[in-house]
A and B are shown apart, each in its own frame.
Chain A
Amino acid sequence: MDSDDELASRLRGGDERALRAAYDRHGAAVFYLAQRLLGNRADAEDVTQLTFVAAWTGRDGYDPQRGTMLGWLLGIARRKAVDRMRSAARDDRVTETVRAHLVPPDGRETPERVVDRLVVADEMGRLPEEQRRTLELAFFDDLTHHQIAAVTGLPLGTVKSHIRRGMANLRRRWEVDGAPSGSRSVGPTRAL
């Protein structure tokens, strides 16, 4: 699997296959974000399309030093989705039928929260297998370190270090690509 650096340089060189590789890797996350934000599949498909077309047109603007490719793509997708929501709000005056699109589905979340989940999930996928499995038991099954040691057969010390390192990795990634609380209150999309 190419690193973001390699993918970015192929993309900058105008290699369409690099865009396809980015789409294969991150298209599902972009599509998920758009669906969560827009609450409607057709708009989410459009926004996914707009995002990758914009990524292609703006490929010179991606700097791997400043964040991962997923973070960059989700940033574009978020802007496209917000544009779509604004235009839906504007067009709402045109016809009643649009209203249906605008009623937020139950549990609609802030864009920041969905992005947080997607980047942390992506980082989970990059953790070494044992570290990831240990964290999943802690997160999803609410097991204590002792219980995890018992379930996995790993020594308690190993469980502790997997969880500590795993959490540190997730935190680092979240601080790079997500929206940690410090920046949460100032972003221009906050008003939404």
Chain B
Amino acid sequence: MHHLDPDRLVLLALSDEPGLDESDHLDGCAACRHDLAALRDVAGIGAELQDLRDLPAPPEHVWSAIESEIAGPARRRRPRRLVPAMAAAVAAVVAVAGAVAFFRAPAEQVVARATLTPLATVPAGAGGSVRVLADGQMRIEVRNLPLTTGFHEVWLIDPDDLTRMVALGNLGDRPDEVLPVPAGVDMNRYSLVDVSDEPHDGDATHSGRSLLRGTLTS
């Protein structure tokens, strides 16, 4: 039996109606039916391509963020070499710092602490820790947070009712920050610490883009 001519199949896929003989053949021939179906799919996709000819490139800051992410860890991994004189100076500073640490005031009393872990969308290297001191200060340390075009904000959330939350403040550029916990906030109830990525959009509510989370325990 003769299969349908390839040019004819293409025409059928694009617009033509099959004639009676052609219909009969298609009914009995899986190979031609398969080819026609695939060509029809391609023609259908083809008809939708008009808008795709000059796709706009992503904004330039996207590339800057990629560049700094791929360059960052590699540079940090590179061991730092010190010339001997400098190494000696650094050793002296380290000795002094050690002495200071040794004579430091008695440890602050920690009333609660939490380990912050990244949400699924956040690189696994991100994380942090939180200590709440007896005087109501929260000390928070974070590492490897994804870059933001806005800012990072710290929240206390009620895990039993996730719409209830208290904003504690923003993280600066430093890896550690001290934020006051407002008086009257019950940390047994608002026990979920959340670090979010917030756009500068003037909207004071949570953006919904959480980066890190951890539960306070005493």
Contacts and interface: CB of A to CB of B under 8 A. Distances in A.
Given A32-B52, A87-B119, A94-B157, A139 B57 contact: no
A12 interface: no
Interface in A55-77: 56-57
A48 interface: yes
Interface residues of B, number: 51
Contacts of A149: none
B163 interface: yes
Contacts of B49: 117, 120-121, 124, 139-140
Interface in A105-135: 116-118, 120-121, 124, 135
B57 A28 contact: yes
B97 interface: no
Interface string B9-25: 01101110000000000
Interface string B36-52: 01110111011111101
Interface in A77-117: 83-84, 86-88, 91-98, 101, 116-117
A45 B14 contact: no
A163 interface: yes
A175 B38 CA distance: 9
Contacts of B205: 95-97
A46 B5 CA distance: 48
B15 A144 contact: yes
Contacts of A91: 208-210
Contacts of A29: 55
Nearest to B70: A56
B30 interface: no
Contacts, number: 144
Could you tell me the dominant secondary structure of chain A's interface residues?
A: helix
Given A16-B70, A32-B52, A96-B163, A116 B45 contact: yes
Given A31-B57, A91-B210, A160-B7, A167 B39 contact: yes
Contacts of A32: 52, 55
Interface stretch (B61-69, B88-96, B129-137, B174-182): B61-69
Nearest to A95: B206
Given A87-B120, A93-B162, A167 B47 contact: no
Interface string B74-118: 000000000000000000000000000000000000000000000
Nearest to B35: A171
Contacts of A6: none
Given A94-B208, A181-B41, A83 B121 contact: yes
Contact of A120 (B46, B65, B119, B210): B46
Contacts of A45: 58-59, 61-62
Nearest to A87: B121
Interface of B: 6-7, 10-11, 13-15, 37-39, 41-43, 45-50, 52-53, 55-59, 61-63, 65-67, 69-71, 119-121, 157, 162-163, 165, 194, 199, 203, 205-210
